[in-house]
Structure 1
Amino acid sequence: MTNLKLVLHIDQADRWPAALSNVANVLRDYPAISLRIVANEAGVYAFLGRTDLLTKMAEAAEKQVAFQACANSLKSHDIDPAHLPKWVTVVPAGVVALAEAQREGFAYIKP
């Protein structure tokens, strides 16, 4: 299972707890897996402030989980990319990032 790659799509803020639970379980059982999370729409709000979700995200990022935020969503929600954690990569379009991940062999998961 070391070649398995998953991309999780978060477009609603209330889906983060389920997604992070999925991430923790997968990393526990399959530490060599490749994980990427693409956030767009209201999903980008979770990258702001100080919350337990943000702490869990940072811990996952330390374990090589890649976090991507859609630039279009950031702009439409008036979020300055400079306010995002350093481990979040801004991508031009979340939907394109999802398509690219799937082309790279990532399985699409919508928690």
Structure 2
Amino acid sequence: MSELKVVLHVSEADRWHAALGNLANIVQHAPQPETRVVVNGSAVYVLQGQHDQLEHMAKAAAKGVAFQVCRNSLRAHDIPEDALPDWATVVPGGVIALAEAQRNGFAYIKP
């Protein structure tokens, strides 16, 4: 069996609770699958400030989860890239990041 790879797609701010639940379950899996979270749409709002959801994301990032944030969505919502946590990586487009992940064998999950 090949190594499991998972990409979570979070595009709405109100879906973070479900996404973080999925992410917690994935991170607890042994061995942990290679995991990416692609963030676009209104979900980018949640990547600012200080709150408990960001703490959960930071812990997941520390365990190797990659967070990819859509530059187009940041621009559309007037969020500067430097407002993001240091563990978040800005990608040119969220939909392209999703397509690339799927091309590379990642299972797509939309919480």
Calculate the TM-score normalised by the size of structure 2: 0.96
Separation in structure 2 between the aligned mates of residue 87 and residue 26 of structure 1, nearest angstrom:
18
Check the 8 A contact 1:2/1:33 in 2, yes or no: no
Q: Does 1:17 align with 2:17?
A: yes
Q: For the structure 1 residues 40 and 28, does the alpha-carbon distance in structure 2 shift closer, same or farther, using more than 3 Å as the test?
A: same
Report the RMSD for the aligned CA atoms in angstroms: 1.2
Percent same amino acid at aligned positions? 58
Deviations 1:67-108 (A, max 9, x none): 011000000000000110010000000000000000111010
2:55 alignment partner in structure 1: 55
Q: For the structure 1 residues 75 and 41, does the alpha-carbon distance in structure 2 shift closer, same or farther, using more than 3 Å as the test?
A: same
Of 86-95 and 26-35, more deviation after overlay is shown by: 26-35
Give unpaired runs (5+ residues) of structure 2: none
Give unpaired runs (5+ residues) of structure 1: none
1:34 alignment partner in structure 2: 34
Q: Which runs of 4+ in 1 moved over 2 A?
A: 29-32
Give the aligned residue type for 2:110: K
Check the 8 A contact 2:26/2:32 in 1, yes or no: no
Of 17-26 and 95-104, more deviation after overlay is shown by: 17-26
Secondary structure in 2 matching 1:82: helix
Separation in structure 2 between the aligned mates of residue 63 and residue 2 of structure 1, nearest angstrom:
21
Deviation (angstroms), 1:28: 1.1
Secondary structure in 1 matching 2:49: coil
2:66 alignment partner in structure 1: 66
